[in-house]
Amino acid sequence: MSALIIVILPVFLLIGAGYIATRFAGFPQSGVDGLMKFTQSYAFPCLLFRAVSTFDIGEQFHAPLLLTYYTAATICFVAGFLAARLIFKRDLEDCVVIGFCCLFSNTLMLGIPITERAFGSDALEANFAIIAMHAPFCYSLGIAAMESVRARGQGLRPLGIAAQIGRQMVRNPLVIALVLGFIVNLGNISIPAPVTDALKMMVSASVPAALFAVGGVLVQYKIEGDLRVVLVICVISLMLHPALVWAFGSLAHLSEGQFRSALITAAVAPGINTYVFANIYDRAKRVAASAVLVTTSASLVSVWFWLSLLH
């Protein structure tokens, strides 16, 4: 119970403050959109750039860590896809979106603050290694699957799929920040002190602004669509994903820090990017939006459960 109060509750209180301010206290939706733009396009890219440019790449990009996390994530994508198809008889395009909801965890806005509060800022390096692969891996898998089912009977277009993936990566500020971070790190490029100090100031604003913005964004969503599908997404993303990470991480003999980071990252709710993906293809948007709302609320309990197992 102490873990719930000390670690998790402050995170969700900030989310709740954003929700209440937007829903009842007149905080404008344009302000929420501005905060989301600030955090996703500027503050979090600064956070990732600073992290990747300074940590030991050889030490943190540990193959067992990445294989543990992304094997589990891929299984969850397949599980979501098959559940949508075999149980709920959804169209294949909808199945891909539902699978993507089970794949894409909110690694930045929930995974980082919960891990940091639970284990300290020094415990985040494994988080950043996972995050460095997250958008490229998840979008590549989601886009490849969607373009494949859309092309059924017409033949696959590998170049078209690659171009679609490339467009999403080039437009993603997080990916750009990661690339620049790798260049600075591998090139041993020195960053001037004023720039470093400015980055620290930007980074310090990223997490609280993001959590407040998440609460404001949730006001836009309502529990619509097939609630049974949303509940399946909840089970897969909040329980199956971390359970698989626990099993694979134990078999891979991950270090304590890597195991904790992978588990907490897997245990958080799907990110808002799941709705962005649904919106790109105009499929299963109500399910994706409802899943973000329900799983974010439910993760208050599920994250507490997984944290309690770590202590």
Q: 105 in helix, strand or coil?
A: strand
Domain membership of residue 39 (yes or no) is yes
CA-based max dimension of the chain: 57
The Cα-based distances of 74 to 10, 102, 135, 231 in angstroms read 31, 9, 13, 19
Query: What's the one-letter identity of residue 294?
Result: V
Is 17 inside a domain boundary? no
Cβ-proximal residues to 58 (8 Å cutoff; 6+ apart), any chain: none
Q: What is the CATH number of the domain that holds 186?
A: 1.20.1530.20
**Which residues are paired to 105 by β-bridges?**
270
Report yes or no on 14 lying in a domain. Answer: no
The answer to whether residues 127 and 112 touch, using CB atoms and an 8 Å cutoff, is yes
Q: What is the pLDDT along the chain (311 residues), one digit of tens a residue?
A: 565 677 788 888 998 999 999 999 889 989 988 998 898 889 988 988 888 888 776 666 789 999 999 999 999 999 999 999 999 999 999 999 999 999 999 998 899 999 998 998 888 989 999 988 898 899 889 988 998 888 765 666 777 777 777 877 777 888 888 889 889 988 888 889 998 999 999 989 888 998 898 888 888 777 766 889 999 999 999 999 999 999 999 999 999 999 999 999 999 999 888 988 888 888 998 899 889 889 998 998 899 999 989 87
Number of folded domains that form the chain = 1
Q: Could you tell me if residue 49 is inside a domain?
A: yes
DSSP assignments along 162-184, one per residue: HHHHHHHHHT-HHHHHHHHHHHH
Residue 23 domain flag: no
Q: Is residue 79 part of a domain?
A: yes
Closest CA to 138 of 99, 85, 90, 182: 99
Domain that holds residue 270: 2-9+29-310
Determine, yes or no, domain membership for 211. yes
